[in-house]
Amino acid sequence: MSLGPILTLARKSLFNRRFTALLTVLAIALSVTLFIGVDKIRNGAREGFDRTISGTDLIVGARSGSINLLLYSVFRIGNATNNVSWESYERWAAHENVAWTIPISLGDSHRGYRVMGTTQAYFDHYLYGDKKPLELSQGKRFEDVFDAVLGADVARELGYELEREISVAHGIGATSFANHDDKPFTVVGILKKTGTPVDRTIHVSLKGIEAIHIGWESGTASPLARMVTADQVRDMPLKPKAITAFLVGLESRIAVLRLQRDINEYREEPLLAIIPGVALSQLWSVVGIAETALTAIAGFVVFTGLLGMLTTIMTSLNERRREMAILRSLGARPWHIFALLLSEGALLALIGSMVGVVLVYGGLAVAGPIIGAQSGIFLGALAPGFYDVAVIGVIVVASVVLGCIPAFRAYRNSLADGLTIRV
Amino acid sequence: MAEDQTHPVIEITDLSFAWRSQQPVLDIERFAVQAGERLFLHGPSGSGKSTLLGVLAGVLMANRGTITVLGQDLRRLSAARRDQFRSEHIGIIFQMFNLLPYLSLVDNVTLPCRFSKHRRARLGTDSAALDQEAKRLLERLRLPEEALSRRDVTELSVGQQQRVAAARALIGSPELVIADEPTSSLDADARGSFIDLLSEECAKAKTTLLFVSHDLSLAERFGRTVDLMEINRVPLDRKVA
């Protein structure tokens, strides 16, 4: 007899015991969801991070840790411990090998979204993904001191349109008691969606940042702050004293290591220059330890799921001895009994792991945007791929290997029982 | 019977069977069943009935002797060939719990045809013909119309289940049907009618019937009775039940 009728019998037998089969499938499905989910989030996060910045050769900030600088300057995660003086910035921006620089000034927010002060250079030179430039979907770049350009998510989630006035809060909390509400900004442009933290950023000019902080030199509003009106501010020389960090593009990438060393050894001010790709790989090597631990745990969970399946099949063996005797009486070989039990295990594992994969992608489709909104970690493209098929394959093979145990027991039982029906 | 000297369907000479290396439980010098015969094999429990049926069906392997079924010496066949042989030529009915609970009534009846191309081929190749034959047999065995429409075989009464089992043993017309205490869980009325229907169908299909039971009162319904206690030279008290 070929395997075809055995598979049909296995399927019908499983369906007859569908409640326990369902529980087993669920256990395997959830374990596979965890296993593949860990991998998807890891790869998604990496891809998301990797595509956030491209074409920038160096990021320069106050001396701290390179991962810290990378996270706060590009990913809006964490805060700068110190600033870079405007003089230092001008000094390095004028360096002969430097093609362009983008100064950035962080520290304020609007309803939980970070406000970033920068210059026109940001729109000219900032690249993400596959060296794509930023594009406006509506309006124009900021020109006036109190103009603001919104990231796509900010506009969408807050429902803001052009001409809308927004006030900026001091600090970066979602709620702040220190507001710059005497000097509101006007939305003049909205950027196209990028899938990077840019979408969650409100961009204003450096002058705008300077303007709202007149009178705030001590960190809180002095009486002076409210006396200067927005119109008066426009006539003042709004030259920033410091910025948070700046991005550097070089004339030739060959000079990057040299320039990095020169900046790091700059005597006037303790600065730190990092190469984005290098800092990212440092970040991944740190995160890698946790990832490995998570993957190991997920692996054990999958194994536990398979053990659960093994237990279910083992406990069903005794009550199925007469089923085996009936099949034997019809001419089924002991080998068929072996195959029947093995295919039951494989079928459970196959369905379970496929359900698991579906759960992963369904879950990520729902949770991905929420993760992005809450943590600023944008998961990259998550198409089902060879890895998922491989995981399903490995789990089915593992279930077949484990399934040999009950299958062999049933095989031996059926040899010993023969046609004797034991109830 | 004398003028009807047909070939034997079962022929046993000098059979000895023992579990592992223990004392033999079966020691039969000669036992034969002729083609078309309806034989009642009588034996109380522990007399080695089930063991003998296991040997005849090719599930158990005798230690000594010749066991010829349909001209084929079973001891010369490999285990796989014996299983194949059983599926092609022998229908078996158990005492109870004959049906697979996860298959439909008709699927239970046609199950032997999944294991044997031979038995299937006798009914034509398409599955409609197979189902047709299953329904015909069930009807012949007087399975009530309402029982036929049940989806779940566990909802059938024991008597109905045994009739389904008989239909399964008969489908594809195997040469030999072995029934192991098929009526012991039925009441007296049902016993008689079950045996009559089974005999009738066996006669129609020219199938030899070997009917095994401890209940001697059934013997009158059969052409010939053999007492296992007489042909088996191992005394009852020496055997492990």
Q: What is the pLDDT of residues A75-107, one digit of tens each?
A: 888 888 889 999 999 999 999 999 999 999 998
Is the Cβ of B170 closer than 8 Å to some Cβ of chain A? no
Cβ-based neighbours of B235, under 8 Å, separated by 6 or more: none
Residue of B96 and A68 predicted with greater confidence: A68
Whether B43 and B214 have beta carbons less than 8 Å apart is answered as: yes
Q: For residue B220, is pLDDT > 80? A: yes
pLDDT tens column, B111-157: 888 888 778 887 776 777 888 888 888 888 887 777 777 767 888 88
Question: Cα B221 to chain center, whole Å?
Answer: 17
Of B87, B92, B100, the CB nearest to A323: B100
Distances (CA, A) of A358 to A36, A315, A353, A362: 10, 29, 9, 6
* pLDDT at position B236: 65
CA distance A338 to chain B (A): 14
Helix, strand, coil proportions of chain B in percent (round to 5)? 40, 25, 35
Mean pLDDT, chain B, rounded, equals 83
Instruction: Inform me whether the C-beta atom of residue B54 falls under 8 Å from chain A C-beta atoms.
Output: yes
Assess contact for A215 and A226: CB atoms under 8 A: yes
CB atoms within 10 A of CB B65: 18
**Per-residue pLDDT, B83:** 86
Beta carbons of B87 and B121 less than 8 angstroms apart: no
Q: Long-range CB contacts (< 8 A, 24+ apart) of A131-137?
A: A131/A54, A131/A55, A132/A194, A134/A191, A134/A192, A134/A194, A134/A198, A135/A191, A135/A192, A136/A189, A136/A190, A136/A191, A136/A192, A137/A190, A137/A191, A137/A192, A137/A193
Measured in angstroms, the CA of A331 and the nearest CA of chain B are apart by: 4
**CATH architecture classification, B8-234:** 3-Layer(aba) Sandwich (3.40)
Per-residue confidence band for A376, with pLDDT thresholds at 50, 70 and 90? low
Is the separation of the CB atoms in B41 and B210 below 8 Å? yes
Closest CA to A246 of A261, A263, A267, A268: A263
Tokens encoding A136: 């406006």
Distance CA B12, CA B2 (A): 21
- Domain parsing of chain B, residue ranges: 8-234
Note whether A13 contacts B102, CB cutoff 8 Å: yes
* Interatomic CA distance for residues A283 and A291, integer angstroms: 12
Range name among A175-179, A265-269, B81-85 with the lowest pLDDT average = A175-179
Residue B184: which residues within 8 A CB-CB, separation 6 or more?
Answer: B95, B96, B213, B214, B215
pLDDT > 60? residue B3 = no
Q: Where are the domains of chain A?
A: 3-49+291-417, 58-274
| Residues A181-213 pLDDT 10s | 778 899 999 999 888 889 999 999 999 988 888
> What's the pLDDT score for residue A394?
93
Residue type, A304: T
The DSSP secondary-structure symbol of A245 reads: E
The answer to whether residues B149 and B139 touch, using CB atoms and an 8 Å cutoff, is no
Mean pLDDT of B45-55: 82
Residue A112: burial class (beta carbons within 10 Å; 0-12, 13-18, 19+): middle
Q: What is the ipTM of this complex?
A: 0.84
- Residue A198 CB: number of other CB atoms within 10 A? 25
Selection from A262-271, B56-65, B108-117, B151-160 with the highest mean pLDDT: A262-271
Q: Do A325 and B101 touch (CB under 8 A)?
A: no
Amino acid at residue number A22: L
pLDDT tens string A21-70: 899 999 999 999 999 988 888 888 888 888 888 889 999 999 988 999 99
pLDDT average, residue stretch B14-31: 82
Q: Which residues contact B54 (CB under 8 A, 6 or more apart)?
A: A418, A419, A420, B60
Is B19 within 8 Å of chain A by CB? no
CB-CB contact of B50 with A420 (8 Å): yes
Evaluated on CA atoms B153, B157, B158, B163, the torsion sign reads negative
Among the listed residues A131, A107, A86, the one whose alpha carbon sits nearest the alpha carbon of residue A180: A107
Number of A to B CB contacts under 8 A, please give it: 73
Tell me what the mean pLDDT of segment A349-375 comes to.
85
Residue A361 has pLDDT above 80, yes or no: yes
The phi and psi torsions of A59 (rounded to 5 degrees) equal: -115, 130
Alpha helix locations (H) across A51-174?
Answer: 66-74, 86-93, 121-125, 152-158
Q: Answer whether A12 sits within 8 Å of B102, measured CB to CB.
A: yes
Eight-class DSSP state of B186: S
pLDDT in tens, A231-257: 777 777 778 889 999 999 999 888 899
Q: Other CB atoms closer than 10 Å to residue A70's CB: what's the count?
A: 26
Name the β-bridge partners of A132. A128
Neighbours of A382 (CB within 10 A): 17
Helix, strand or coil, per DSSP, at residue A138: strand
| Residues from chain A contacting residue B96 (CB–CB below 8 Å) | 421
Is B47 in CB contact (< 8 Å) with chain A?
no
Higher-confidence position of A222 and A412: A412
A323 pLDDT more than 90: no
Q: pLDDT > 90: what percent of chain A? A: 41
CB A243 within 8 A of CB A104: yes
Q: Which is more confidently placed, A50 or B1?
A: A50
To the nearest whole Å, the CA of A325 is away from the closest chain B CA by 9
Instruction: Give the pLDDT band (50/70/90) at residue B53.
Output: confident
Residue B2 has pLDDT above 60, yes or no: no
DSSP per-residue string spanning A2-56: -HHHHHHHHHHHHHHTHHHHHHHHHHHHHHHHHHHHHHHHHHHHHHHHHTT-BS-
Give the pLDDT confidence score for residue A79 in this predicted structure: 84
pLDDT, tens only, A277-314: 999 999 888 888 888 898 899 999 999 999 988 998 88
Identify the band that residue A401 occupies on the pLDDT scale cut at 50, 70 and 90: very high
**Confidence (pLDDT) at B12:** 87
User: Of A72, A68, A69, A75, nearest to A53 (Cα)?
Assistant: A75
State the pLDDT at residue A105: 94
Can you read off the two tokens belonging to residue B22? 């223990």
- Percent of chain B whose predicted confidence (pLDDT) is above 70: 93
Overall average pLDDT of the B36-51 stretch = 84
Do the beta carbons of residue A153 and residue A192 sit within 8 Å?
no
Residues A113-167 pLDDT 10s: 999 999 999 999 999 988 889 999 999 999 988 999 999 989 998 999 999 999 8
Q: What is the pLDDT of residue B237?
A: 60
- Tracing tokens 């507001």 back to the chain, one arrives at A179
CB-based contact A199:A134 (threshold 8 Å): no
Interface with A, mutate which of B20, B59, B164 (most A CBs under 10 A): B59
Give the per-residue pLDDT at A3. 67
What whole-number distance in Å separates Cα of residue B81 and Cα of residue B101? 28
What pLDDT score does A422 carry? 55
Q: Which residues of A touch B106 (CB under 8 A)?
A: none
A331 and B98 within 8 Å at the Cβ level: the answer is: no
Q: Residue A342: is its pLDDT beyond 80?
A: yes
